[in-house]
Amino acid sequence: MNPDIEKLQPYPFQRLTALFKGIEPNTELKHIALSIGEPKHQAPQFIAETLNQNMHHLGSYPGTAGLPELRQCISRWATRRFHLKKLDADSEILPVNGTREAIFALPQTIIDRSSSPLVLSPNPFYQIYEGASYLAGAAPYYLNCSEENQFIPNFSAVPAQIWNRCQLVFLCSPGNPSGAVIPAKRLAELIDLSDHYNFVIASDECYSEIYLDESIPPPGLLQVCAQLGRDDYRNCMVFHSLSKRSNLPGLRSGFVAGDSAVIRKFLQYRTYHGCAMPLQNQMASIKAWSDEQHVVENRTLYREKFSAILDILKGSLDIKIPDAGFYLWPKTPISGSEFAKGLFQTENITVLPGEFLGREAHDLNPGYDRVRIALVAPIEQCIEAAHRIRRYCESLN
- pLDDT tens for 83-102 read 999 999 999 999 999 999 99
Q: Quick check: helix, strand or coil at residue 151?
A: coil
**Better-predicted residue by pLDDT, 27 or 29:** 29
How confident is the model over 113-163, as pLDDT tens digits? 998 999 999 999 999 999 999 999 999 999 999 999 999 999 999 999 999
pLDDT for the residue 177? 97
Q: Which residue has the higher pLDDT, 320 or 169?
A: 169
- The arithmetic mean of pLDDT across residues 29-55, rounded, is 95
271: confidence class by pLDDT, cuts 50, 70, 90? very high
Task: Give 265's contacts (C-beta < 8 A, 6+ positions apart).
Answer: 109
- pLDDT tops 90 at residue 171: yes
The segment(s) of the chain belonging to CATH 3.40.640.10 are 57-291
Predicted confidence (pLDDT) at residue 318 exceeds the cutoff of 90: yes
Residues 6+ apart with CB under 8 A from 144: 123, 361, 362, 364, 366
Find out if CATH 3.90.1150.10 is the number for domain 3-42+294-396.
yes
Given this model, what pLDDT does residue 154 score? Answer: 96
Q: 184: pLDDT confidence band, cut at 50, 70 and 90?
A: very high
Q: Please compute the mean of the pLDDT values over residues 200-211 and round it to a whole number.
A: 98
pLDDT digits (tens, 9 = 90+) for 272-315: 998 999 999 999 999 999 999 999 999 999 999 999 999 999 99
Distances (CA, A) of 79 to 68, 82, 220: 16, 6, 11
Mean pLDDT, rounded, of the chain: 96
258: left (phi over 0), alpha (psi -120 to 50) or beta: left
Q: Residue 236 — pLDDT band, cuts 50, 70, 90? A: very high
pTM: 0.96
Q: Which residues lie below 8 Å from residue 192, measured CB to CB, with a gap of 6+?
A: none
Domain 57-291 CATH (choose: 3.40.50.2300, 3.30.70.20, 3.40.640.10, 3.40.50.300): 3.40.640.10
Which regions of the chain carry the CATH code 3.90.1150.10?
3-42+294-396
